[in-house]
Amino acid sequence: MSGLRIGMLTSGGDCPGLNAAMRGAMKACVEKFGEKNVEIVGIKNGYYGLINNQAKEMKRSDFSGILTVGGTILGTKRQSFKMLTSTEDGVDKIKAMKNTYKDLKLDCLITLGGNGTHKTANLLSEEGLNIIGLPKTIDNDIFMTDVTFGFHTAVNTATDVIDRLHTTAASHSRVIVAEIMGNKTGWLTLYSGIAGGADVIIIPECPYEIKKIIEAVRARASRGRGFSIIAVAEGAFDKDEAKLKRKDRLRQREESGIKTASERIAAEVERETGIESRVCVPGHMLRGGSPSAYDRFLASSMGARTAKLIEDGNFGVSVAMVNDRITENKLSDIAGISKPVPVDHQALKTAKQLGISLGI
């Protein structure tokens, strides 16, 4: 064969492992098809670059030394599915993406991203393009895959944050609320909270009762533990808010002047217990830095899988890890579907067994 042209783009939030996955895909394709038979085209800034034909021919040297590098060498932009399918600005974005694909003479396009990226990837697949997805997100919430690359590194970073908060909380006898990324799901907060020894873990899947959190803090104080660490997913809400639609929750918070669950929890704990409380938001630090050894392995393995899929002509799929095996799922089966923490998940049982309050 000759002239196999493979496009790559990274979309949505960045995370460690994106570069490793692209490197893995390139190396596996070169190994399988031969260096002279493979051309890699990098699409800059995600789907925005695909719409506007922002692309560059990539050399093998472009992938050298990036296994350990965080972020993405192609750049990325957040583009909502609604924005990508809208023609309000006079641009038919779907048509523009299809035209770029054809103008670049691509044989397939590898899209690296999370739920939103996969939703658009499925749309392009249904439009007749040869698409292969690679699942990245620190939220670990892509349906039908056990783990996404970027998650493991973010757990390490969030755990380090919680570790460091212990010493300052203990020194000042404070309650510190660590707000961990996770708008819709609590995988990152749950895993790092357990690993970091948090006393309370609050996630969106388990709407909390503030009195339960206060009880946990008071119980520790009664045992002579004058400080507590509360790990809260940014998308958490209480049982009363759970009865509301998301837009109504946000409006209610805006009106109250306390916009996040973390701020509310800290304020109410301090008021009810008298223990000085603070909020720490590590934010985008959780996305940054070099990928862990496990994420390098996972990203490389998932990237390498794309060569086999291309050889088999198996498109319209996303690579996945299922039962410790690298496999793939149909994009149509997973697009637009999130993976929440099941209420009977072993990690929740472990937290309870360790005496960690879930605020319920």
Q: How far from 89 is each of 48, 49, 86, 93, 97, CA to CA, in Å?
A: 14, 17, 8, 10, 15
Which among 14, 107, 139, 141 is annotated as catalytic?
139
d(CA 106, CA 287): 30
Question: 139 an active-site residue?
Answer: yes
| CA-closest candidate to residue 29, choices 303, 314, 302, 307 | 307
- Residue 217: which residues within 8 A CB-CB, separation 6 or more? 175, 199, 200, 228, 230, 269, 273, 275
Residue 308's DSSP bridge partners are none
Q: How is residue 122 written in tokens?
A: 């499925």
Q: How many CB atoms lie within 10 A of CB 334?
A: 24
Q: How far apart are CA 285 and CA 161, in angstroms?
A: 10
For residue 224, how many other CB atoms are within 10 A of its CB? 6
Per-residue 3-state assignment (H helix, E strand, C coil) for 200-258: EEECCCCCECHHHHHHHHHHHHHCCCCCEEEEEECCCCECCHHHCCHHHHHHHHHHHCC
- For residues 190 and 82, give the distance between their C-alpha atoms in angstroms, rounded to a whole number: 30
Place of tokens 């048509």: 95
CB-CB contact of 20 with 299 (8 Å)? yes
Q: Which residues are catalytic?
A: 139
